[in-house]
Amino acid sequence: MKKKQEDMKFAITSKGDAISNALTQKMKSYLLDFGLEYDENQPDIVISVGGDGTLLYAFHRYCRRLDKTAFVGVHTGHLGFYADWVPEEIEKLVIAIAKTPYQVVEYPLLEVIIRYVNGGREARYLALNECTVKSVTGTLVMDVEIKGDLFETFRGDGLCISTPTGSTAYNKALGGAILHPSLEAIQLAEMASINNRVFRTIGSPLVLPAHHTCMLKPVNYSDFQISIDHLSLLHKEVKSIQCRVADEKVRFARFRPFPFWKRVRDSFITD
Ligand code: NAD
């Protein structure tokens, strides 16, 4: 998919530190000089300057217009997984944004629907990385249903449901597999499950395809600490947490090839 440059509107999200702010100002003035319009509310392209956390923030800020907005990340700290341009390259990046029709790559997202005990209330979230569920009172006890059937009763510290691009984040620290983002799937990984003669969980991360919904249902308590990417909140009186591959996708603007496995290698092995 190609995007034409005429009338292109951009926004920049900064991490907020001095280096990121200075870089933001520089890129903004270059892009304005090229005739692009700055529009914080309805941008065609969002440049995130900072780290992966900044890109996660930008994603959630523009979450309601994912079909119209593409993201690109510049990192001002260590190499980011989403933020893959370095400050020394910003002139090149600005020219590429202003002059060349860019490629857009789309990656799967996680849809989370939390339903509450009272009044059929529900809340819907999209995660770029993952959703984690932890207890606020001790061991998390949850029935895990897959495609409507009870799979197991989980006991342990928590559960992490990640996207393919989020598979290199928290999921990786939990021993989950790294999933290529061309796979429309989500991954369920355990956090320190209790396994003995009485309690049993599968013990391996599960990769679920797009049409397999995973439903978490509380067994005893109904208050949980639930995170969606960087945002962690206490949710009270939860009846169920439904996770599946979202219909929406995140779109990244690509100005040069940066294959996923090279990104993984550069981030975790060596660059
Ligand atoms: P943060 O800035 O401390 O980020 C944590 C680290 O995760 C950073 O080094 C960041 O570069 C890296 N990261 C984020 N997304 C990534 C991805 N998709 N692939 C590889 N690395 C990635 O914290 P934050 O800004 O609040 O970011 C929230 C994210 O932190 C969560 O989405 C979660 O994935 C991650 N996290 C990881 C752990 C862990 O690894 N044990 C624990 C909590 C949260």
DSSP 3-state of 13 = strand
109-247 belongs to which CATH class?
mainly beta
For domain 2-100+255-268, give the CATH superfamily: Probable inorganic polyphosphate/atp-NAD kinase; domain 1 (3.40.50.10330)
Whole-structure pTM value: 0.96
pLDDT of 1 reads 46
Q: Report residue 49's pLDDT band, with 50, 70 and 90 as the boundaries.
A: very high
- 193: Cβ below 6 Å to ligand 1? no
- pLDDT reading at 254 higher than 50: yes
pLDDT in tens, 213-232: 999 999 988 999 999 999 99
pLDDT in tens, 171-220: 999 999 999 999 999 999 999 999 999 999 999 999 999 999 999 999 98
Residue-by-residue DSSP string for 135-203: ESSSSEEEEEEETTEEEEEEEEEEEEEE-TGGGGTHHHHTTPPP--TTS-EEEEEEEEE--SSS-----
DSSP 80: P
Percent of the chain residues past pLDDT 70, beyond the cut: 98
- 54: Cβ below 6 Å to ligand 1? no
Cα(203)–Cα(66) distance, integer angstroms: 35
pLDDT of 255 reads 92
117 Cα to the center of ligand 1, angstroms: 31
Q: Are 40 and 46 in contact (CB under 8 A)?
A: no
For the segment 29-38, the average pLDDT, to the nearest whole number, is: 96
81 Cα to the center of ligand 1, angstroms: 9
Q: Report residue 80's pLDDT band, with 50, 70 and 90 as the boundaries.
A: confident
Residue with token string 């209790």: 194
Residues identified as active-site: 52
Measure CA 58 to chain center. 11
Mean pLDDT of the chain: 95
Q: Where are the domains of the chain?
A: 2-100+255-268, 109-247
- 87: Cβ below 6 Å to ligand 1? no
